[in-house]
Structure formats: C-alpha cells, structure tokens
A and B are shown apart, each in its own frame.
Chain A
Amino acid sequence: MAGALIRKYKWYLLAIVGLYAAISLWLFFFTDSPQNVPFEYEIH
C-alpha cells in the first residue's frame, strides 16, 4: 500500500520536502548574522 501511495503522490511528497528545505535555507541565510541574542542558558 505504501508503495502505491508513494507512486501516486510522489510529486506532492517531493514538493513538500522541497518546501521544508526552502524554508530551512531561508531561515539559515536570513539569520546568518553576528550574534544578536543573549548567550543561551536554556541548553543545559
């Protein structure tokens, strides 16, 4: 069943993954600037 669904929706799946990747790249480049937030203390 999964194989059939993948074949049926392959362009949809690729488009969604591409959209996620595009959002990630935009976030990466848009925020790739000198540090402007406090040193983060939540990671502990």
Chain B
Amino acid sequence: MKRTAELLFLVLVPLGLFLALGELALRVYLSRHIFFDVEMSRYALALKLDSKNPRIGHHHRPNAVARLMGVTVRTNADGFRDDEVAVAKDGRRRLVFLGDSLTLGWGVEREQTFEHLLEARLNQMRPTEVINLGVGNYNTTQEVNLFLDKGAKYQPDQVVLFYFINDAEPVPQKSRFPGLGHSRLVTFYWSRLKALRARLSPGTRFAEYYAALYRGGAEGWARSADALLELKRQSVARGFDLRVVLLPELHDLVDYTFRKEHGIVMDFLRANGIPALDLAPQFAKEHDPHSLWVSLDDAHPNARAHGLIADYSLNFLAEAP
C-alpha cells in the first residue's frame, strides 16, 4: 500500500507541478505573443454558441465582445461583426457578405477588413450598406443556412459569397478534447503535436488536405456545390443579385497551389450562371506571401491583404445592376 502511494506520488506530483508551472509560464509568454490555435480556442469559448440548426452548427453569441489576435471583435444583436442594422431598408443599396473567418476579418481591426473598405468605396459610388455575416470555421452549407436563418430578413439587393478553399470541409464538430480552450498548455500541446505530425508524415499538410476535398467527386465539394445552387435558387426567388468571389489561399501565390481546385469551382459557377471572380491570379505578383499573413503560424489575410482584396473586388461588386 505504502509502495503504491509512493509510486503515485512520483508520477502525479511532477506532472501536476509541470502543468501548473507550464500553464503559468505560457500565459506570461502569451501576454506578449500570439499562438493561432490558442486564439482560435479562445474565440470558440468567447463568441461561439451551438445552433439549433444542424446545418449551421454554431453561430456567434449576440452582443458579445472579445479581444482575439490582438484586435477587438464585437458582435451585434444578430451575432454579426457589424453595427446594429435596422431590418427596414433606408433607401441605400444593401449588400450581404457571406463567408468564413476571412470575411469575418480574423486578426484585423474591423476598419481594416475588406468588408469595411468595400462599404466605404461603394458608398462613394452610390449610397450602400454592407452587412457582414462572416463567421469563423464556416463552410458553404453553414454560410447559406445562416443567410436563410438570419440574413434573408434584411432583403438584400446583392449577396456576395466569399469562397475559400476550405469551404468544402464538413460542418465542424464540437471538440471533446479535455482541457482544450481552457488550458493554454493543453491547447499548445494539442496544436504543436498536430504540427509535428504534419512535419513528419506526408499527406497531412494543408495542401494535400484541401485538394482532397475536391478530388474525384469528393463529398466536401459536392455539399458546397449543393449549397451554392440553393443560394442561386434563393436569388431568383427573392430577386437579389448573387455573386461569388474566390479568395486566395496565401501560401504560394506565384505558382498558386490550388489552381486546379479554383478551376473546378469557377467552372461550376459559370455553368450555373453565377457571376464569379477568382482573386488568386490577381495576387500572382505577391512574391512574399508571409507579408500578407496575420502571423507566422496563421495564414489568414492581414490588413494589407484585406486592402488588396477590396481593391481587386471593387469593380466586380460595383458592376452589379
């Protein structure tokens, strides 16, 4: 009995000490630095709520505020990262932007997001308001269903879906990993072991993973295509202009990694009469992709990249009737 207690002591005490000291040290380090996965786990805890609609999975907590990636994210009564919007239109042309964390403006101040920049520039042409329905970790199915649940009531004149290569992923499931999000140390280990696996084993890096979502009639892209067709049907029934902008993945822009997959999406949109703009070729002169990232371990577009997205998509959105 005494021997067992001594063995337990020798296992549990150093582990407990390490967990306590490691957590403390990491929190001190993270007060000055940013880890993408830690921030994503904080985002989940601070702003995400389960949705009753399984096709949406999660949505934003209404009227919430959080400091993530060093910037403030504030949601309105609908849970959008936007100002409060009256349902009744006030004579301005109304646009709704659908998308994921890139459209949300992950890691950039709201004033620097392409949504905000485009609203300002479109306003110089004619009175316009843009409602941002971007939510982190969304796929196309979620984006379209969020629009049906919360966006359609605003009766937009135009809906723009900002498509990203990982929009063909399945609806994300809630992680049951113990401690994830609550403990910085657990999240760090979970994240870095994943990165280690990607470094050591082929087929686990982002490029292979994303490409597989489109290969040979993959279910991921099939679901996205269905959601796009549903949005097209809605545009006809409700009388709004529908457009799709393909956002570039920011690892290799000169020899674009997902040229083939963007081709699949563009061909589909053209075949179904949905006006679409692929921004990847516009970024082909960017020889230093890291200069467009929000951080070293996070290839989301930073403020400069958001500015370029706004520059390159302005005419496409403005040409709508």
Contacts and interface: CB of A to CB of B under 8 A. Distances in A.
Interface of A: 1-2, 5-6, 9, 12-13, 16-17, 20-21, 24, 27-28, 30-44
Nearest to B21: A17
Contacts of B137: 39, 41, 43-44
Contacts of A32: 296-297
Contacts of A9: 9-10
A23 B299 CA distance: 27
Nearest to A20: B18
Interface of B: 5-6, 9-10, 13-15, 17-18, 21-22, 36-37, 40-41, 43-44, 48, 57-58, 101, 137, 166, 169, 172-175, 177, 180-181, 187-189, 191-196, 198-199, 204-206, 209-210, 251, 290, 293, 296-300
Contacts of B209: 37-38
Given A27-B192, A35-B297, 13 more contacts: A2-B9, A5-B6, A13-B17, A20-B14, A21-B21, A21-B22, A33-B195, A35-B206, A35-B251, A39-B299, A41-B169, A43-B37, A44-B57
A27 B6 contact: no
B297 A34 contact: yes
B62 to A, nearest CB: 18
A37 B166 contact: no
Given A24-B22, A38-B206, A43 B17 contact: no
A44 B196 CA distance: 22
B40 A43 contact: yes
A9 B177 CA distance: 33
A44 B175 contact: yes
26 contacts: A5-B6, A6-B13, A17-B14, A17-B17, A24-B188, A27-B189, A28-B188, A30-B196, A31-B195, A33-B297, A35-B251, A35-B298, A37-B194, A37-B205, A37-B206, A39-B101, A39-B137, A40-B191, A41-B169, A42-B177, A43-B41, A43-B43, A43-B180, A43-B187, A44-B58, A44-B173
A18 to B, nearest CB: 9
A44 B174 contact: yes
A3 to B, nearest CB: 11
